[in-house]
Structure 1
Amino acid sequence: MSRAAKVATGVVAAAVVAGLVVLAYPAFAALGGIGHPAASAVTSTRPTAVSDPAPSPTPSKDAGSGDCPAEASISLSGQDKAHMVPTLVKADALTDRGTRPGARGEVVSNAQGIYSYIVAPNDNLISIGQRLCIEYGNVALYDHVLGAAIQPGAQLILRPDPSIPWIDPYVPFDAIPNVTNTVDYNSTIYEMGAAVRTHDLDTARALWARSLSGHVSPAAQAAATAALDAGDWAVLDQLFP
């Protein structure tokens, strides 16, 4: 599949997942502007001699073409938005095909296989998806990627625990359409992720109490409250990636 087709497929997939999460979601339009993957096309310049130039070499799959034999995906599903849980689909396809422009970060593994990816400077989601053979749009939605860029040092969870509920980073659970202002909620989700990454428990607890507690699903409320009380970073990493 060509890079253009892959990008189009990723955007459509992300839009479908977002539509399942809530009946009236804001469009996940930021995906199209995430990062700037380096071009891998090989160009040739016609020499001054009469002979034709040598044909340009075709990049191999491991050179960054993005043509994975299969593609993993993070599915967000549930009977309603109060019971949304993440699941890694086609987990066997998740594999590290090597660093490349736009995907030079660290891959973290556990006993089950690849667990997460640590973002390096100048990384972008498209290249990360190609390196690891995972659909990048769903990764962005699950991992609370807000805005137009991923941040160096951020941890993208790629193998979510299906027993830990997903928290919608865009719309509070108790939001009233056309009434609720979501700006403070959205920004606090971003700050909460930063506090969890640095294991700043006091800040995480303060942010939770200020803007998030009571505005997530009952299952997420219970999980986050217990994890914050216990300082359970393994759970907090997945609730607030």
Structure 2
Amino acid sequence: MKRSTKITMVVSAAVVTGLLVLALPAMIGATTWVTGVFGAGSGSPAATEPPNPTADPASDDGLVDLGDGISVPAGGPGECTSTAHISTMSTRTDDSGPYYSKLIGDLVDRGPSELASGQALTDEAGGVYAYEVAAGDSAIAIGERFCIDYITVQSHNHVRAGMIHAGNILYLRPDPTLPWVSPYEPFDVQPGEQTGPYYDAIDFMRNAVVAQDLAEAQRVWAGLGPHIHPDARTIATRALEAGDWELLRQMFP
């Protein structure tokens, strides 16, 4: 079975059509170290507190502008008028190329709810690019808060069995120039090869990155790196050398 087929199987049928094409446009959302190496600009996005609602009247699209790139439906949360999703796709039809993730549609922060009370993280331009999970949060409720398909959010963010925990960072607007690392199987997997050790190594790498434990991250990477697509391997290796934890966290969420 082709690797892209295995990945798209975890995505709901409602978004399958969005997985057919993945363009690589100019940088969307968080500015990362990648653009500092391969393009103009550098640095990691800074998390900011979401603004307080204002008394601004609703616009023609029925949304109230809260400032900093965040809008909510006029008259309360209401229902999403559309649902965004994250598309993850190989750049080559034979699956030999790296995978990339891209937000399809628009994020709308409808505001905190009982099961989605965490903080929206915004980039320097004020746009929401990620969400910090709070205790008691539900992946479904997070999707409803931001009008995005929660299944594709889980898939992109390597969420296992739908389990999210307080403090997790869920990237809602992935950097489309940053290769996506598959948590399911190595790039160089051979027929009949056991993928369990690779699957566990991805978890070990994630934990080391979250803890910002450079020695442990380097130890895990020494065994994991050769099994990652060369494009992603190059970026992750340089990020480790530079100590760019934000970039590494995007690659190993």
Fold equivalence (TM over 0.5)? yes
Task: Name the CA distance, whole Å, in 2 between partners of 1:72 and 1:237.
Answer: 22
1:62 aligns with 2:62: no
Corresponding residue to 1:209 among 222, 226, 236: 222
Structure 1: runs of 5 or more not aligned: 1-9, 21-59
Residue of 119, 123, 130 corresponding to 2:144: 130
Residues 1:147 and 2:148 are matched in the alignment: no
What letter is aligned with 1:129? G
The CA RMSD measured in Å over matched residues stands at 2.5
Structure 2 match to 1:221:
233
Change (3 A) 1:121 1:19: farther
- Aligned residue for 1:230? 242
Q: Partners of 1:112 and 1:209 in 2: how far apart?
A: 37
The alpha-carbon deviation at position 14 of structure 1 amounts to: 6.8
List per-residue Cα deviations over 1:194-235 (Å, max 9, x = no partner). Answer: 22122222211111113x111111111111111111111232
* 8 A Cα contact 1:146 1:190, kept in partner: no
Q: Which is greater in Rg? A: 1
2:206 alignment partner in structure 1? 193
1:175-196 alpha-carbon deviations (Å, 9 max, x no partner): 123x221112112212222221
Distance 1:99 1:188 in 2: 34
TM superposition shift of 1:167: 0.5
TM-score (norm. length: structure 2)? 0.67
Q: How does 1:79-118 map to 2 (within 5 A)?
A: 79=92, 80-90=95-105, 93-110=106-123, 111=125, 113-118=127-132
The aligned counterpart of 1:239 is 251
Distance 1:198 1:18 in 2: 33
Matches within 5 A, 1:32-43: none
Which stretches in structure 2 are left out of the alignment for 5+ residues? Answer: 1-10, 22-74
Check whether the contact 1:116–1:156 (CA below 8 A) recurs between aligned residues. Answer: yes
- Label 1:19 to 1:186 Cα distance change in 2 as closer, same or farther (>3 A): farther
Query: Which deviations, in whole Å up to 9, do the C-alpha atoms of 1:42-75 show, x marking residues without a partner?
Result: xxxxxxxxxxxxxxxxxx9727xxx311222111
Asked whether 1:180 is paired with 2:170, we answer no
- Which residue of the other structure, out of 149, 162, 172, is the alignment partner of 1:158? 172
Rate the CA distance shift 1:206–1:147 in 2: closer, same or farther, 3 A: farther
> In the alignment, residue 161 of structure 1 is paired with which amino acid?
D
Q: SS at the partner of 1:76?
A: strand
Structure 1 pair 18–74 and aligned structure 2 pair: CA distance change class (3 A): closer
Contact preservation (8 Å) 2:15, 2:85: no
Deviation at 1:99, TM superposition (A): 1.5
Residue matched to 1:6: none
Structure 1 pair 121–18 and aligned structure 2 pair: CA distance change class (3 A): farther
